[in-house]
Structure 1
Amino acid sequence: MNWEKIRKTLGPGILFASTAIGVSHLVQSTRAGANYGFALLIFIIAANVLKFPFFEFAARYASATGETLIDGYKKLGKFAIWLYFIITICSMFFVSAAVVLVTAGFMDNLFGLSELWSHFQLFPVALVFVVTVGLLLSGKFNFLDHLIKIIGTTLLVSTLVVFIMTLLKGPATHVPDFTPPAIFEETSLLFIIALMGWMPTALDMSTWVSLWAVEKMRSTNYHPSLKESLIDFNLGYWISAFLSVCFVTLGAYLIYGTGRSLPTGSVGFADSVIKLYTTTMGNWSYIIIGTAAFSIMFGTCIGLFDGYARTLERTTTLIFAKKSQHIKNSRTVYIWSLVLLALGSFSINAFFSGQFKTLIDLATTISFLIAPLVAIANFKLVSKTYIAKPFVPGKLMTFISYLGIVFLTGFAMFYIYVMFL
Structure 2
Amino acid sequence: MASKLLNIIVPGLLIAATGVGAGDLATAAFAGGNLGIAILWAVVLGGLFKFALTEGIARWQLVNGDSFIDGLAKQLGLPFIWIFLIYLVLWSFFVGSALISASGVAMHSLIPIFEPQNGKIIFGILLSLVGLALVRFGNFALFEKVMGISIGIMFFVVVLTALLLWPGMGPFLNGLFIPSIPNLEGNGLTWTVALVGGVGGTLTIFSYGYWIREKQRISASDISVCRIDLLVGYSVTVIFGMAMVIIGSTVPVDGKGTGLILNLANGLENELGTTGRWLFLFGAFFAIFSSLLGVWQAVPYLFADVVRHIKPQINSEDLQNLSQTLSYKGFQIALAIIPMLSLWISFKEVQKLYAIVGTLFMPFLALALLYFNNRTGMKANKSGWFINTLLLITLIFFSYIAWQKFIG
TM-score bracket for the superposition, by shorter chain length: 0.7 to 0.9
User: Residues 350-380 of structure 1: CA distance to partner in whole angstroms, max 9, x if unpaired?
Assistant: 3239x9xx99998766533321112222332
TM superposition shift of 1:153:
1.4
Checking the alignment, whether the CA contact within 8 Å between 1:98 and 1:363 is kept in structure 2 is: no
Structure 1 129/377 Cα, relative in aligned 2: closer, same or farther at 3 Å?
A: same
Structure 1 119/96 Cα, relative in aligned 2: closer, same or farther at 3 Å?
A: closer
Counterpart Cα distance in 2 of 1:146 and 1:385? 40
Structure 1 226/388 Cα, relative in aligned 2: closer, same or farther at 3 Å?
A: same
Counterpart position of 2:390: 400
Q: Which piece of structure 1 moves more, 64-73 or 14-23?
A: 64-73
Counterpart position of 1:317: 308
Q: Which piece of structure 1 moves more, 296-305 or 53-62?
A: 53-62
1:248 aligns with 2:263: no
Structure 1 134/359 Cα, relative in aligned 2: closer, same or farther at 3 Å?
A: farther
Counterpart position of 2:175: none
**Pairing of 1:236-385 with structure 2 (within 5 A):** 236-255=233-252, 261-264=253-256, 266=258, 268-275=259-266, 278=269, 281-322=272-313, 325-326=316-317, 331-352=325-346, 366-385=357-376
TM superposition shift of 1:25:
3.5
Counterpart position of 1:175: none
Checking the alignment, whether the CA contact within 8 Å between 1:43 and 1:192 is kept in structure 2 is: yes
Counterpart Cα distance in 2 of 1:164 and 1:364? 34
Counterpart position of 2:133: 134
- Tell me the percent identity: 19
**Pairing of 1:196-235 with structure 2 (within 5 A):** 196-202=196-202, 204-217=203-216, 225-235=222-232
Checking the alignment, whether the CA contact within 8 Å between 1:196 and 1:368 is kept in structure 2 is: no
TM superposition shift of 1:410:
1.4
Counterpart Cα distance in 1 of 2:401 and 2:118? 43
Counterpart Cα distance in 2 of 1:298 and 1:359? 25
User: Residues 51-100 of structure 1: CA distance to partner in whole angstroms, max 9, x if unpaired?
Assistant: 43112212323333343222222232324433332321232211221222
Secondary structure in 1 matching 2:200? coil
Counterpart Cα distance in 2 of 1:107 and 1:323? 39
Counterpart position of 1:387: 378
Secondary structure in 1 matching 2:165? helix
Secondary structure in 1 matching 2:246? helix
Checking the alignment, whether the CA contact within 8 Å between 1:105 and 1:270 is kept in structure 2 is: no
Secondary structure in 2 matching 1:378? helix
Structure 1 359/92 Cα, relative in aligned 2: closer, same or farther at 3 Å?
A: same
Counterpart position of 2:57: 58
Q: Which piece of structure 1 moves more, 23-32 or 227-236?
A: 23-32
User: Residues 287-337 of structure 1: CA distance to partner in whole angstroms, max 9, x if unpaired?
Assistant: 444333212311110111222211101111133215994399953212221
Counterpart Cα distance in 1 of 2:134 and 2:127? 11
TM superposition shift of 1:386:
4.5
| Matched pairs, number | 394
Counterpart Cα distance in 2 of 1:35 and 1:365? 25
Give, as a single letter, the amino acid of the residue that structure 1 aligns with 2:216: M
Counterpart position of 2:406: 416
1:108 aligns with 2:105: no
Counterpart position of 1:83: 83
Q: Which piece of structure 1 moves more, 62-71 or 331-340?
A: 62-71
Secondary structure in 2 matching 1:271? helix
Q: Which piece of structure 1 moves more, 28-37 or 339-348?
A: 339-348
Structure 1 232/16 Cα, relative in aligned 2: closer, same or farther at 3 Å?
A: same
TM-score, scaled to structure 1: 0.80
Counterpart Cα distance in 1 of 2:220 and 2:2? 15
Structure 1 101/197 Cα, relative in aligned 2: closer, same or farther at 3 Å?
A: farther
TM superposition shift of 1:50:
3.3
TM superposition shift of 1:414:
1.1
Checking the alignment, whether the CA contact within 8 Å between 1:12 and 1:213 is kept in structure 2 is: yes
TM-score, scaled to structure 2: 0.82
User: Residues 127-152 of structure 1: CA distance to partner in whole angstroms, max 9, x if unpaired?
Assistant: 23322223333236643541342242
Counterpart position of 2:154: 155
Structure 1 285/376 Cα, relative in aligned 2: closer, same or farther at 3 Å?
A: same
Counterpart position of 2:94: 94
Structure 1 269/365 Cα, relative in aligned 2: closer, same or farther at 3 Å?
A: farther
Checking the alignment, whether the CA contact within 8 Å between 1:162 and 1:280 is kept in structure 2 is: no
Checking the alignment, whether the CA contact within 8 Å between 1:19 and 1:303 is kept in structure 2 is: yes
Checking the alignment, whether the CA contact within 8 Å between 2:315 and 2:325 is kept in structure 1 is: no
Counterpart Cα distance in 2 of 1:324 and 1:105? 38
Secondary structure in 2 matching 1:37? helix
Secondary structure in 1 matching 2:317? coil
Counterpart Cα distance in 1 of 2:139 and 2:315? 31
Give, as a single letter, the amino acid of the residue that structure 1 aligns with 2:254: L
Counterpart Cα distance in 2 of 1:18 and 1:264? 21
Question: Could you say what the CA RMSD is over the residues aligned between the two structures, in angstroms?
Answer: 3.7
Secondary structure in 2 matching 1:412? helix
Secondary structure in 2 matching 1:321? coil
Checking the alignment, whether the CA contact within 8 Å between 1:25 and 1:247 is kept in structure 2 is: no
Checking the alignment, whether the CA contact within 8 Å between 2:158 and 2:283 is kept in structure 1 is: no
Checking the alignment, whether the CA contact within 8 Å between 2:47 and 2:199 is kept in structure 1 is: yes
